[in-house]
Amino acid sequence: MTADTGVFVQKSFLAGDTYYMQSLVRGAPSRAISWLRLTFRFVGRLGFGRQSALVATRRMFPMRAITPARQAISLLVGTIVIGTGVALLTQADLGLSPFDVLVSGLLPRVGLSFGQTVWLVSGVLFTVAAALGHRPNRWGIAYVLSVGIAIDLVSGVIVAPASLAARVAFVVAALALLSAGISLVVHSGTTGGSFELLTAAGEARGLNRQAVRTTLEVGVFAIGVALGGNIGPATLVIALGIGPMLGVMGQAFADHSHGRARRLIQNSPDIHHPSAMAQRVR
């Protein structure tokens, strides 16, 4: 896929929902229905948790950081931001995203910190993916390690809010941070968590990509609920809000990457060479 094609796909992704945007002018009932339909379109396309959203967003917004240094920086900053978002949710105590519901359900049983339990769960899923022929690379391992460290460090320095308003503010901030962090990791062009490997393993066996990632997210969520994981209104907020937020942030990063790539091409000495100019004229 060329850069122009990628941007066309990204623009079309948002333009496909123009009908719903237009219907916002038809009165309050129509606005409510339109927003619900738009939200569920994004949920279906971009997932409803930080793991499945990472899988879906990478395919939807393929633009990436240009140099290895930018890749490493984007991945590191993205994982720190994601870990901060998860830490805010744990401190708000109003519910977690589906993958983290499983982690919270395992906490009293394994005697580890939240970040270390993330390592444990990811390690098990990495092992399953490797058995299916998709081993994690250094980027994937770095992603999991960084997220776990960030969760524990941030949780150790912030104080859980006492008022409901402050807890709600933590949830809103967490939603924004998770969306921004996922967009940065996707922008890095590297890799992320175990769901990407498991989705690729399922796709290699002829299974539908979206069905695999949704099954994984629903599966870990169901196990987490059965283990007594932390679910609440924030779980619903993340599930319904992360898709629309990623649609906006992913598009912004893609537009930024595309604009920078165009400037690099236009400023390249080769493009001003007589042979290049002659080729452009033809």
Helix 50-60 vs helix 28-46: angle between axes, to the nearest 10 degrees? 90
pLDDT of residue 192: 66
Instruction: State how far the alpha carbon of 191 is from the alpha carbons of 107, 144, 148, 185, in Å.
Output: 26, 10, 16, 7
Sign of the Cα pseudo-torsion (245, 158, 80, 124, in order): negative
**pLDDT class of 282 with cuts at 50, 70, 90:** very low
Instruction: State how far the alpha carbon of 242 is from the alpha carbons of 23, 37, 247, in Å.
Output: 22, 15, 8
Distance CA 232, CA 171 (A): 11
Q: What is the DSSP string of 36-61?
A: HHHHHHHHHHH-SSHHHHHHHHHHH-
> Model confidence over 89-113: pLDDT tens digits?
999 999 999 899 999 999 999 999 9
- Please provide residue 155's backbone torsions phi and psi, each rounded to the nearest 5 degrees: -60, -30
pLDDT at 54 over 90: no
Helix, strand, coil tally for the chain in percent (to 5): 80, 0, 20
pLDDT at 11 over 50: no
pLDDT averaged over every residue in the chain: 77
**pLDDT class of 18 with cuts at 50, 70, 90:** very low
**pTM strictly above 0.85:** no
90 compared with 267, residue with greater pLDDT = 90
Across the range 247-274, mean pLDDT stands at 57
Across the range 241-256, mean pLDDT stands at 76
Across the range 212-223, mean pLDDT stands at 89
- Please provide residue 94's backbone torsions phi and psi, each rounded to the nearest 5 degrees: -120, 15
